[in-house]
């Protein structure tokens, strides 16, 4: 297959690119390099433009036709919750505009297979229960970022139906780890790199609240290794290519929860450093617990996560040691 990867120079996109090329598939990347890095694309054909702009649908359709693209994986989007609260219109313009252009181009170029990067952010605060969250549970995104992902899923389904596209939205839970030092996340936007950022500054990592109704009082999340997440994309593409039935949405997580204190302990193990953490006030909008029920993707596509929390943190730490401190976007 020949796969167009939008956002292929980014953290998750580059892992999927590496996984596809490792097994002999052909890939082409479209990435405007605002947060992506060209080294991650290597020798793969790369087109550098913003897919949300007017005219991008034509450019995307031309690439799809010229390179005989058979599938699209659409990552390119803005993903910072706080920034989305500050600039909601821009988030809708970027994320919905980019997606609309991708779908428009797929219809023009007659490309029939799509994987869309969605997020656990579509669930908002979750159900409030301790039970793992299921795909059909209530979706109530609490910030514009999550709204663009949920509205994006709706647009994907509507456009897929209209154009006869097989489309799947993958709802990523908390992605961490690295497939190699070169592919490690360079941005301090999530817990693991934010811990590293503090350690690099000689400061104590922050814990946003230790008075949640969880076993140790800190928030519980479902951390999934980026290499496992990349494999989930391949499993979807393969199922579509084989003509197997697929669901419109899948959770991608381990189905296991770890607290912020658990992650800090994993960093202590990976780094060999003993450090204290500072408890800060709760961060607004954080659910106490958000863990995936990952049974649908296992039952239907045979995908399960292979890597542990220690694998994630150890590989991320190795990337940090090689690349230096992660940066703010
Ligand atoms: C994890 C936990 C924090 C930093 C977000 C988005 C979601 C998805 C993934 C994708 C929380 C705590 C964090 C720190 C801390 N987005 N924390 N100290 O909020 O679960 O999910 O990223 O692109 O849509 O909302 O992830 O990594 O920010 O936080 O205690 O310095 O770690 O409060 O409980 P989150 P996160």
Q: Could you tell me how many residues make up the chain?
A: 329
d(CA 308, CA 304): 12
Does residue 188 belong to any structural domain of this protein? Answer: yes
Closest-CA residue, ligand 1 atom 10, reads: 79
* 139-196 pLDDT, tens digit each: 999 999 999 999 999 999 999 999 999 999 999 999 999 999 999 999 999 999 999 9
d(CA 277, CA 231): 34
157 with 268, same domain: the answer is no
d(CA 163, CA 175): 31
* Domain closes at, from 211, 235, 252: 252
3-state secondary structure of 291: coil
Does residue 329 belong to any structural domain of this protein? Answer: no
Ligand 1 contact via 260 beta carbon (within 6 Å): yes
* Residue 132 banded pLDDT, cuts 50, 70, 90: very high
Strand boundaries in the chain, DSSP class E: 2-6, 26-30, 46-47, 71-74, 113-119, 166-172, 174-176, 206-208, 220-221, 223-225, 249-252, 258-259, 278-280, 289-290
Ligand 1 contact via 283 beta carbon (within 6 Å): yes
Phi-psi map region of 100: left, alpha, beta (phi>0 left; psi -120 to 50 alpha)? alpha
317 with 169, same domain: the answer is no
Distance 82 CA to ligand 1 centre (A): 11
Catalytic entry in 145, 212, 223, 250 = 145
> Can you tell me the mean pLDDT for 126-142?
96
Distance 142 CA to ligand 1 centre (A): 14
CA angle 224, 225, 230 (to 5 degrees): 105
Closest-CA residue, ligand 1 atom 19, reads: 286
d(CA 18, CA 307): 17
- Is residue 200 within a helix (H) or strand (E), and if so which, with residue range? helix 191-200
d(CA 93, CA 101): 11
* Domain closes at, from 252, 267, 293: 252
Nearest in space to 244 (alpha carbons), one of 168, 314, 322: 168
Nearest in space to 244 (alpha carbons), one of 302, 180, 198, 202: 302
Ligand 1 contact via 306 beta carbon (within 6 Å): no
Ligand 1 nearest atom to the CA of residue 219, by list position: 34
Query: Measured between alpha carbons, how far is residue 23 from residues 26, 68, 76, 81 in Å?
Result: 9, 19, 23, 34
169 with 292, same domain: the answer is no
Nearest in space to 63 (alpha carbons), one of 210, 311, 55, 158: 55
Q: What is the CATH number of the domain that holds 62?
A: 3.40.50.720
Number of independent structural domains in the chain: 2
Cβ-based neighbours of 80, under 8 Å, separated by 6 or more: 145, 189, 329
247 with 310, same domain: the answer is no
Does residue 50 belong to any structural domain of this protein? Answer: yes
Does residue 328 belong to any structural domain of this protein? Answer: no
Ligand 1 nearest atom to the CA of residue 121, by list position: 24
Q: State the first-to-last Cα distance of the chain, in angstroms, to the nearest integer.
A: 33
11 with 125, same domain: the answer is yes
Does residue 78 belong to any structural domain of this protein? Answer: yes
208 with 271, same domain: the answer is yes
123 with 210, same domain: the answer is no
Ligand 1 nearest atom to the CA of residue 189, by list position: 28
Distance 191 CA to ligand 1 centre (A): 6
Distance 133 CA to ligand 1 centre (A): 17
d(CA 100, CA 109): 14
* 256-266 pLDDT, tens digit each: 999 999 999 99
Nearest in space to 267 (alpha carbons), one of 254, 258, 257, 280: 258
7 with 148, same domain: the answer is yes
Is 329 a residue whose pLDDT tops 80? no
190 is in which domain, residue-wise? 178-222+255-323
118 with 237, same domain: the answer is yes
ipTM for the predicted complex: 0.97
d(CA 250, CA 248): 7
Determine the pLDDT at residue 311: 98
Ligand 1 contact via 176 beta carbon (within 6 Å): no
* 185-228 pLDDT, tens digit each: 999 999 999 999 999 999 999 999 999 999 999 999 999 999 99
109 with 119, same domain: the answer is yes
117 with 93, same domain: the answer is yes
145 with 283, same domain: the answer is no
Ligand 1 contact via 81 beta carbon (within 6 Å): yes
Distance 282 CA to ligand 1 centre (A): 12
How many percent of the chain have pLDDT more than 70? 100
Q: What is the CATH number of the domain that holds 212?
A: 3.90.25.10
91 is catalytic: no
């Amino acid at each position: 297959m020949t796969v167009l990867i939008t956002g292929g120079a980014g953290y998750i996109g580059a892992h999927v690119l590496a996984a596809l090329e490792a097994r002999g598939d052909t890939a082409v990347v479209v990435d405007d390099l605002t947060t992506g890095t060209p080294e991650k694309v290597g020798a793969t054909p790369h087109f550098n433009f913003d897919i949300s702009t007017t005219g991008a649908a034509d450019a995307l359709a031309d690439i799809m036709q010229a390179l005989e693209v058979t599938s699209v994986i659409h990552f390119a989007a803005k993903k910072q919750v706080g920034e989305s609260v500050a600039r909601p219109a821009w988030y809708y313009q970027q994320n919905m505009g980019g997606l609309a252009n991708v779908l428009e181009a797929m219809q023009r170029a007659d490309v029939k297979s799509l994987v869309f990067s969605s997020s656990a952010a579509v669930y908002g605060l979750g159900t409030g229960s301790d039970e793992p969250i299921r795909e059909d549970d209530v979706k109530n995104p609490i910030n514009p970022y999550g709204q663009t992902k949920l509205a994006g899923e709706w647009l994907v389904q509507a456009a897929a139906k209209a154009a006869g596209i097989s489309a799947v939205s993958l709802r990523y839970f908390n992605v961490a780890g690295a497939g190699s030092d070169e592919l490690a996340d360079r941005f301090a936007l999530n817990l693991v790199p934010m811990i590293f950022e503090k350690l690099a500054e000689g400061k104590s990592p922050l814990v946003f609240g230790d008075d949640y109704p969880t076993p140790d009082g800190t928030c519980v999340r479902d951390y999934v290794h980026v290499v496992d997440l990349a494999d989930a994309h391949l499993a979807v593409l393969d199922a579509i290519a084989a003509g197997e039935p697929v669901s419109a949405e899948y959770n991608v997580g381990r189905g296991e929860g770890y607290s912020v204190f658990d992650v800090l302990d994993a960093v202590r193990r990976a780094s060999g450093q003993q450090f204290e953490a500072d408890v800060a006030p709760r961060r607004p909008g954080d659910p106490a617990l958000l863990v995936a029920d990952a049974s649908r993707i296992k039952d239907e596509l045979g995908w399960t996560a292979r890597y542990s929390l220690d694998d994630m943190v150890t590989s991320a730490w190795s990337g940090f040691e090689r690349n230096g401190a992660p940066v703010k976007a």
